[in-house]
Amino acid sequence: MENIKSEILKNKVPNHIAIIMDGNGRWAKQKNKPRVFGHKNGVNSVKEVIEHCGELGVKFLTLYAFSTENWNRPALEVKTLMMLLVSSLKKELKTLQKNNIRLITIGNLNDLPKNVQSELKEVIKKTENNTALTLSLALSYGSRDEIVNVIKNISKKVVNNELKVEEINEKIINNHLYTFSLPPVDFMIRTSGEKRISNFLLWQIAYAELYFTDTLWPDFRKENLFKAVLDYQNRERRFGKTSEQIEEINE
Q: Is residue 22 part of a domain?
A: yes
Q: Is residue 110 part of a domain?
A: yes
Q: What average pLDDT does the segment 24-47 reach? A: 95
Catalytic residue among 15, 44, 70, 99: 70
Catalytic residue among 3, 11, 15, 22: 22
Domain at 51, CATH number:
3.40.1180.10
Q: Is residue 119 part of a domain?
A: yes
Tens of pLDDT, residue by residue over 139-178, are 999 999 999 999 999 999 999 999 999 999 999 999 999 9
In the chain, how many domains are there? Answer: 1
Q: Is residue 93 part of a domain?
A: yes
The rounded distance, in Å, linking the Cα atoms of 103 and 120 is: 9
Q: Which of 60, 34, 56, 50 is nearest to 89 (CA)?
A: 50
Burial grade of 147 (CB within 10 A; 0-12, 13-18, 19 or more): middle
In this prediction, residue 111 carries a pLDDT of 93
Q: Is residue 167 part of a domain?
A: no
pTM here?
0.92
**Is 70 known to be catalytic?**
yes
**Is 22 known to be catalytic?**
yes
Q: Is residue 169 part of a domain?
A: no
If one compares 247 and 128, the residue with the highest pLDDT of the two is 128
Q: Is residue 158 part of a domain?
A: no
Q: Is residue 79 part of a domain?
A: yes
The domain in which residue 75 lies consists of 10-142+184-233
